[in-house]
């Protein structure tokens, strides 16, 4: 089953549209500049917004005066600007927000999963840009005949004379646009420059194809060691053969993904904790997508495997939202909560970031600096191993619980 986990967002940089955040709504040319800055039709649909970091501008076309509701805050009145109604505000960065209008007392328009980026998502003075390789194509033997596109990104601090840490990113094409919806290359450069993460080799790999057959769910959702073997036997050696100097210890290897890519990342570390020590799973599909009862486990069993199987030496960041998917494969929010409780019960070094988002990459993109900093915290290139231990503060916290929603 195909899920659209990586959706584009309209985020305007001040460099591209500086006047919008400086001009008064009634100033000459403001309405025209705003109309040009947002997607066509979004003003009429009540879906238009512009954001840079914590600064946001919301706008709508409406005959009647609208009220704007952002997250759980009280409704606010908007300012008339020509034929538009507008509101400027600041929002918490590093997460996602949602908004909705009320027109004549009825809900209108709105959007969920609106990311508010941090300073680390933008180019910073004195921070050199890294380098993205040309696209490479691999033909697999583990997945017989499968063709996979991949790219390699290295920050400026990467030194080919020294073995470097490695991070593998699933659905990798989403990260190849430097100023795209993820802004990951910029985040990597800033965090590496600040020495919050090591100067790692980042591998952006796409799901493969066998002829016209898309292999994404087979690669990602299947609960076994096949994808990990594919990485270890084929992709990492191919990257090394291309001239990149890679470390070989699990302590120095991380793996990340969204949706089915999230469970994929966990699969690789769960079955090969001696190869991958750090996991970033965002809106992870810990559900029954590839479950074949009596033949093959599905991701739905992971909360129980964690509780009953031997503990792995891995560090795990989970992210999900309360409005994530609910379908015949399972419940994404509940499964991620169960994952967190199971990891907590076994005293894993884990963190759950749980918001209000849908099945969407926006929250994970917005919090990428925090997640990567946490995942690589206390990394020491002089070491090749570490026993990951739960934060003592986590031990005193209760298990996650769902608030009961009674309905008539």
Q: pLDDT value at position 268?
A: 98
Residues ≥6 apart with Cβ < 8 Å to 339: 284, 286, 302, 303, 306, 318, 352
Predicted model pTM: 0.94
Q: pLDDT value at position 9?
A: 38
CA-CA distance, 13 to 239, in Å (whole number)? Answer: 34
Which CATH entry fits the domain spanning 128-395: 3.40.50.10540, 3.40.50.1820, 3.30.2320.50, 2.40.30.10?
A: 3.40.50.1820
Q: What is the pLDDT along the chain (408 residues), one digit of tens a residue?
A: 444 433 333 444 434 454 788 888 878 888 889 999 999 999 999 999 999 999 999 999 999 999 999 999 999 999 999 889 999 999 999 999 999 999 999 999 999 999 999 999 999 999 999 999 999 999 999 999 999 999 999 999 999 999 999 999 999 999 999 999 999 999 999 999 999 999 999 999 999 999 999 999 999 999 999 999 999 999 999 999 999 999 999 999 999 999 999 999 999 999 999 999 999 999 999 999 999 999 999 999 999 999 999 999 999 999 999 999 999 999 999 999 999 999 999 999 999 999 999 999 999 999 999 999 999 999 999 999 999 999 999 999 999 998 877 777
CA-CA distance, 392 to 347, in Å (whole number)? Answer: 10
Q: pLDDT value at position 403?
A: 82
Torsion sign (Cα): 166, 198, 132, 169: positive
CA-CA distance, 317 to 278, in Å (whole number)? Answer: 8
Q: pLDDT value at position 17?
A: 52
Q: pLDDT value at position 11?
A: 45
Domain limits, the chain? 18-117, 128-395
CA-CA distance, 302 to 266, in Å (whole number)? Answer: 10
**Angle in degrees, 0-180, between the axes of helices 368-375 and 184-193, rounded to the nearest 10:** 50
Which has the closest alpha carbon to 378: 391, 365, 397? 391
Q: Is 131 helix (H, G, I), strand (E, B) or coil?
A: strand
Q: Which residues pair with 95 in a beta bridge?
A: 116
Q: Where are the alpha helices (DSSP H) in 215-272?
A: 216-221, 226-230, 236-241, 260-271
CA-CA distance, 199 to 163, in Å (whole number)? Answer: 10
Which CATH entry fits the domain spanning 18-117: 3.30.390.30, 3.40.50.2300, 3.40.50.2000, 2.60.40.10?
A: 2.60.40.10
CA-CA distance, 256 to 316, in Å (whole number)? Answer: 10
């Amino acid at each position: 089953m195909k899920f659209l986990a990586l959706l584009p967002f309209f985020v305007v940089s001040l460099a591209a549209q500086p006047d919008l955040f400086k001009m008064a709504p009634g100033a000459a040319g403001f309405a025209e500049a705003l109309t040009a800055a947002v997607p066509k039709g979004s003003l009429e649909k009540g879906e238009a917004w512009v954001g840079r970091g914590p600064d946001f501008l919301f706008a709508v076309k409406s005959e009647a005066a609208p009220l704007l509701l952002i997250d759980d805050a009280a409704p606010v009145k908007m300012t008339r600007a020509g034929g538009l109604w507008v509101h400027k505000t600041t929002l918490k960065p590093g997460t996602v927000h949602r908004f909705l209008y009320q027109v004549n007392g009825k809900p209108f328009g709105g959007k969920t999963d609106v990311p508010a980026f941090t300073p680390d998502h933008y180019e910073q003075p004195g921070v050199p840009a890294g380098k993205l390789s040309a696209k490479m194509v691999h033909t697999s033997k583990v997945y017989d005949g499968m063709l996979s596109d991949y790219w390699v990104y290295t920050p400026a601090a990467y030194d080919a004379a020294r073995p470097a840490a490695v991070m593998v990113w699933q659905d990798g094409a989403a990260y190849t646009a430097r100023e795209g919806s993820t802004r990951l290359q910029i985040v990597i450069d800033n965090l590496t420059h600040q020495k919050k993460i090591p100067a790692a080799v980042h591998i952006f790999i796409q799901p493969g194809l066998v002829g016209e057959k898309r292999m994404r769910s087979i690669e990602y959702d299947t609960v076994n060691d096949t994808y990990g073997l594919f990485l270890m036997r084929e992709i990492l050696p191919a990257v090394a053969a291309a001239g990149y100097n890679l470390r070989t210890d699990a302590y120095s290897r991380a793996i990340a993904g969204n949706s089915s890519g999230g469970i994929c990342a966990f699969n690789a570390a769960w079955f090969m904790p001696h190869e991958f020590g750090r996991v970033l799973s965002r809106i992870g599909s810990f559900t029954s997508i590839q479950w074949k009862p009596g033949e093959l486990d599905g991701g739905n069993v992971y909360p129980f495997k964690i509780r009953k199987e031997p503990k792995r030496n891995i560090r795990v960041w989970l992210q999900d939202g309360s409005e994530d998917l609910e379908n015949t494969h399972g419940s994404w929010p509940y499964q991620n909560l169960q994952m967190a409780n199971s990891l907590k019960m076994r005293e894993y070094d884990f963190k759950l970031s749980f918001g209000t988002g849908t099945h969407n990459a926006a929250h994970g993109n917005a919090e990428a600096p925090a997640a990567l900093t946490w995942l690589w915290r206390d990394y020491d290139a002089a070491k090749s191993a570490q026993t990951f231990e739960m934060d003592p503060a986590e031990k005193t916290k209760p298990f996650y619980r769902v608030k009961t929603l009674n309905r008539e």
